[in-house]
Amino acid sequence: MEIFGIPIQALFGQLLIGLINGSFYALLSLGLAVIFGLLNIINFTHGAQYMLGAFCSYLLLNKLGVGYWWSLLIAPIIVGASGMLIERLMLARLYKLDHLYGLLLTFGLALIIQGLFRNEFGSSGLPYRVPAELTGGQNLGFMFLPNYRGWVVVTSLVVCLVTWYVIERTKLGAYLRAATENPQLVQAFGINVPRMITLTYGFGVALAAFAGVMAAPIYQVNPLMGADLIIVVFAVVVIGGMGSIMGAIVTGFGLGIIEGLTKVFYPEASNTVIFIIMAIVLLVKPAGLFGTQK
């Protein structure tokens, strides 16, 4: 059986692969959405922080002998902590100014971080092995699914849904959302708003680092690995609606699939298709698919 000249089995394979790539888009755009939704900061350092996560796990393994599983926990904590430092020392001074200043600061930081790493490690990429427990794969009939990729999809889905639940359905999440709406009032109830904001930024950054650790065994650990990705991820966030948590998750996975299909039907356009969609969405629904006009 064929659809548009593509055997249906091949199509299933491509859909699954799209879902895998979508996992990374979802994880990264989720972090961005959390930071933008709750802090109103457009975090352009996100790609660099994703790269830092990957490098952190590379260094943990090669300098300290710490393996993948511990890295999955430790790297986000380290990178998240560095993010909190950035928030406290720099970003905190910009909240009263226009969005543009935060964007410029984080963009500059990204360039500096990537430059430093390129200087130190070169740009040709470093190897990182798939953990022994997840090597091999499953024959699904229509394709051979490497175990590690399966793990990526499941884990990122779980992380995304837990994050959504915490922010949208728990008391902690309610405080966070309230603090964005009216920080003075929340502060008056005895909640330390600046600390909560610092922690939120740290959490968003940790999500990026987490995605970086997940990516390390699949892609090269490379100083510029986040630089290309971040532009796509921004498009994902814009399409989903800036600051919408669910929007980021759904569009992340959805656009991964659309991109995957483009790779079959017209591969040359596979790295532009997301931007074409972004342009269309912005024309039709400027606030994004899941955003609300303020």
Partner 1 sequence: MKVEIVSADHQNKPDVGSQIANQWYDVDKVDAIVDLPTSSVALAVNEITRKKGKALLVSGAATSDLTGKACSPNTIHWTYDTWMLANGTGNAIVKTGGDSWFFLTADYAFGHALERDTEAVVQKNGGKVLGKVRHPLNTQDFSSFLLQAQASKAKIVGLANAGGDTTNAIKQAAEFGIVRRGQNLAGLLVFISDVHSLGLQTAQGLIFTETFYWDMNDQTRAFAKRFAPANRGIQPTMVHAGVYSAVLHYLKAIESSKTDDGSKVIAEMKRLPTDDPLFGKGSIRADGRKIHPAYLVEVKKPAESKGPWDYHKIRATIPAEEAFRPMDQGGCPMVK
Write out the residues near partner 1 by the rule CB under 8 A. Answer: 7, 10, 13-14, 17-18, 20-21, 122, 124-127, 129-130, 137, 143-144, 146, 148-149, 218-220, 222, 225, 228-229, 260, 263-264, 267-268, 270-271
Give me the least distance between CB of 188 and partner 1, in Å please.
47
Give me the least distance between CB of 263 and partner 1, in Å please.
4
CB 290 within 8 A of CB 247: yes
Choose between 14 and 49: whose C-beta lies nearer to partner 1. Answer: 14
User: Which is nearest to 143 in space by CA: 270, 18, 238?
Assistant: 18
Choose between 26 and 167: whose C-beta lies nearer to partner 1. Answer: 26
- Position 288, amino acid: G
Q: What share of residues in the chain are helix, strand, coil (percent, to 5)?
A: 75, 5, 20
CB 168 within 8 A of CB 176: no
Choose between 124 and 293: whose C-beta lies nearer to partner 1. Answer: 124
Give me the least distance between CB of 223 and partner 1, in Å please.
11
C-alpha span between 293 and 121 (Å, rounded): 44
Give me the least distance between CB of 239 and partner 1, in Å please.
19
Give me the least distance between CB of 212 and partner 1, in Å please.
13
Q: Tokens 């800036």 — which residue?
A: 242
Choose between 22 and 102: whose C-beta lies nearer to partner 1. Answer: 22
**Residue 71 structure tokens:** 């890295």
Choose between 15 and 90: whose C-beta lies nearer to partner 1. Answer: 15
Choose between 24 and 164: whose C-beta lies nearer to partner 1. Answer: 24
Give me the least distance between CB of 283 and partner 1, in Å please.
25
CB 206 within 8 A of CB 80: yes
C-beta pairs of 151-157 under 8 Å, 24+ apart in sequence:
152/20, 152/23, 152/24, 152/214, 152/218, 153/19, 153/20, 153/23, 155/23, 155/214, 156/23, 156/24, 156/26, 156/27, 156/211, 156/214, 157/23, 157/26
